[in-house]
């Protein structure tokens, strides 16, 4: 299974603890929090669940995990 690395702002700490996400700090980037999650299949606007709405894949991933996209710095495949 493919995984992704989500680089998050330090303000996400309480949420990550509450939801039992495994994470680590990246002190090189001002205590940025790194979270690794399994990737999810992207549902484009043609998918029946999307009703013709096209969504950014990164936002869709965050929505799937309940992560506030405003607390994300970057998402990358690993």
Q: What is the pLDDT of residue 27?
A: 73
Please give the average per-residue pLDDT across 5-14, as a whole number.
Answer: 96
Instruction: Give the pTM.
Output: 0.88
| Tens digit of each residue's pLDDT (9 = 90 or more) over 10-48 | 999 999 999 999 999 887 777 899 999 999 999 999 999
17 contact partners, CB below 8 Å, separation of at least 6: none
Residue 74: which pLDDT band, with cuts at 50, 70 and 90? very high
Task: Identify the CA nearest to 6 among candidates 44, 42, 40, 43.
Answer: 40
């Amino acid at each position: 299974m493919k995984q992704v690395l989500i680089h998050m702002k330090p303000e996400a700490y309480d949420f990550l603890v509450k939801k039992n996400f495994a994470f680590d700090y990246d002190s090189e980037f001002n205590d940025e929090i790194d979270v690794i999650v399994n990737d999810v299949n992207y549902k484009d606007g043609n998918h029946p669940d999307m009703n013709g709405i096209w969504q950014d894949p990164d936002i869709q991933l965050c929505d799937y995990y309940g992560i506030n996209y405003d607390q994300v710095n970057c998402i990358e495949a690993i």
